[in-house]
C-alpha cells in the first residue's frame, strides 16, 4: 500500500494533540495485540510515537509492518493504517516512527458510548507479559472461568468476577471472552487494562479489545443502542 494523499492536513490535525494517548494494533503474526504509546513528534509524512513495550522490553518492530494507529483526544478519536519506518532508541524517549498509509479518520466519541449490562459470559486466560504475578506467585492456569459483563462499549468491557476467582485477574493479562447477544455467540480477545473496584464478594476490571470483527461490532452496536433506548425510556 502506498501513501497517496496530502499529509499537510494531517500535520495540522496532530500538531495540537502532541502527547495524546496512542494505541497501536497489530492484527496478526507473532506480536498480534494492542500496545499503548504516546504521540511524541511529527515528521515529513511520518509520525513518531513513544516506542511500545512488550514484557518490559521494546516491542520488536520490523520495517514495513502494517498496523492500525488510534489516537485519543479530548474531543474524538483519530485512526489510520500505518507502516513501520524505523525505531530510534538512542534517545531519552525511544521512538517508533510510522508512515501513514491512509488519511486520518475522525471517529466521534459516541462510538465508544458505554452502557450497563448483565450478560453472563466466560473468560479464558491466554497469556501475560510477565512470568510471575506482582506478589511472586505463578500465573493462573489456562482454563475457562465464569464472568459477568457489567458494562459494554465498542472499545472494551467492564467485567465482574467472584472474589474466589481473582487470581485470574491482573493488569496486562490477555483473555479470550465467550459472550452471547441476542442468541448469537462470539469470541473476543482483550487485555486487562485496569482493576476498577474490589469488595468482599467481587472484583471489577476493565478489558480493552484487541480488535473487533465487523459482524461483532454491528451486533454490539445494536445492543448498545437498544440499551440506550431502554435507559432513556
Whether residues 118 and 77 fall in one domain: no
d(CA 187, CA 189): 7
Identify whether 19 is part of a domain: yes
Are 46 and 132 in a shared domain? no
Q: Is the pLDDT of residue 10 over 60?
A: yes
Residue 86 confidence (pLDDT) above 90 = yes
2-7: long-range contacts (C-beta < 8 A, 24 or more apart)?
2/101, 3/45, 3/99, 3/100, 3/101, 5/102, 5/103, 7/44, 7/45, 7/100
Asked, for residue 22, whether it belongs to a domain, the answer is: yes
Determine, yes or no, domain membership for 3: no
CATH code at position 42: 2.30.110.10
Residue 128 is assigned to a structural domain of this protein: yes
- Specify if 183 maps to a domain: yes
Query: In the chain, which residue ranges form alpha helices assigned H by DSSP?
Result: 8-15, 214-232
pLDDT at position 148, please? 96
Q: Residues with Cβ < 8 Å from 164, sequence gap 6 or more?
A: none
Under the banding of pLDDT at 50, 70 and 90, the label for residue 214 is confident
Residue 105 DSSP SS3: strand
Is residue 136 domain-shared with residue 203, that is, in the same domain? Answer: yes
Same domain, 153 and 220: yes
Residues 99, 118: one domain? no
Tell whether the model's pLDDT for residue 2 goes beyond 60: no
Report DSSP letters for 111-154, one per residue: GG--EEEEEEEEEEEEE-SSSB-TTSPBPPPS-EEEEEEEEE-S
Residue 111 has pLDDT above 60, yes or no: no
- Do 104 and 169 share a domain, yes or no? no
Shared-domain flag, residues 174 and 212: yes
Q: pTM for the complete prediction?
A: 0.56
Looking at 108, 126, 142, the residue that finishes a domain is: 108
Question: Could you tell me if 43 and 56 lie in one domain?
Answer: yes
Q: In angstroms, rounded to a whole number, what is the distance separating the alpha carbons of residues 82 and 79?
A: 9
Between CA 216 and CA 222 the distance in angstroms is 10
42: pLDDT strictly greater than 90: yes
Can you tell me the mean pLDDT for 148-170? 89
Query: Among residues 108, 142, 160, which one ends one of the domains?
Result: 108
Q: Tell me the CATH number at 140.
A: 2.40.10.220
Same domain membership, residue 223 and residue 199 = yes
Instruction: Find out whether 101 and 82 touch, Cβ atoms under 8 Å.
Output: yes
Q: Are residues 25 and 69 in the same domain?
A: yes
| 1 assigned to some structural domain | no
Q: Is residue 80 part of a domain?
A: yes
d(CA 88, CA 95): 5
User: Which residue, among 44, 29, 47, 55, has the nearest Cα to 88 in the 3D structure?
Assistant: 47
- Our count of domains for the chain comes to 2
pLDDT of residue 99 exceeding 90, the answer is yes
Who wins on pLDDT, 85 or 131?
Answer: 85
Domain that holds residue 24: 8-108
Chain Cα centroid distance, residue 30: 17
**Of 88, 108, 128, which residue constitutes the final position of a domain?**
108
Same domain, 132 and 225: yes
Closest by Cα among 137, 173, 168 to 33 = 173
The answer on 131 and 67 residing in a single domain is no
Q: Which three cell numbers stand for residue 23?
A: 494505541
93 within a domain of the structure (yes/no): yes
Amino acid at each position: 500500500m502506498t501513501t497517496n494523499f496530502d499529509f499537510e492536513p494531517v500535520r495540522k490535525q496532530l500538531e495540537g494533540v502532541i502527547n495524546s494517548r496512542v494505541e497501536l494494533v497489530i492484527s496478526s503474526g507473532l506480536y498480534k495485540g494492542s500496545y499503548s504509546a504516546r504521540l511524541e513528534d511529527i515528521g515529513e509524512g511520518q509520525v513518531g510515537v513513544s516506542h511500545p513495550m512488550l514484557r518490559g522490553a521494546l516491542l520488536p518492530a520490523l520495517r514495513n509492518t502494517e498496523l492500525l494507529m488510534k489516537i485519543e483526544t479530548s474531543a474524538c478519536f483519530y485512526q489510520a493504517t500505518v507502516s513501520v519506518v524505523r525505531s530510534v532508541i538512542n534517545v531519552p524517549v525511544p521512538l517508533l516512527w510510522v508512515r501513514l498509509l491512509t488519511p486520518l479518520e475522525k471517529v466521534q466519541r459516541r462510538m465508544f458510548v458505554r452502557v450497563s449490562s448483565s450478560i453472563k459470559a466466560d473468560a479464558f486466560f491466554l497469556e501475560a507479559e510477565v512470568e510471575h504475578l506482582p506478589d511472586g506467585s505463578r500465573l493462573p492456569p489456562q482454563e475457562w472461568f465464569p464472568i459477568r459483563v457489567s458494562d459494554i462499549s465498542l472499545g472494551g468491557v467492564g467485567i465482574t468476577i467472584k472474589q474466589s476467582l481473582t487470581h485470574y485477574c491482573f493488569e496486562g493479562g490477555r483473555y479470550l471472552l465467550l459472550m452471547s447477544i441476542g442468541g448469537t455467540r462470539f469470541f473476543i480477545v482483550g487485555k486487562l487494562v485496569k482493576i476498577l473496584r474490589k469488595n468482599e464478594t467481587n472484583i471489577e476490571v476493565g478489558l480493552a479489545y484487541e480488535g473487533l470483527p465487523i459482524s461483532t461490532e454491528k451486533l454490539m452496536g445494536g445492543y448498545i443502542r437498544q440499551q440506550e433506548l431502554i435507559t432513556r425510556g
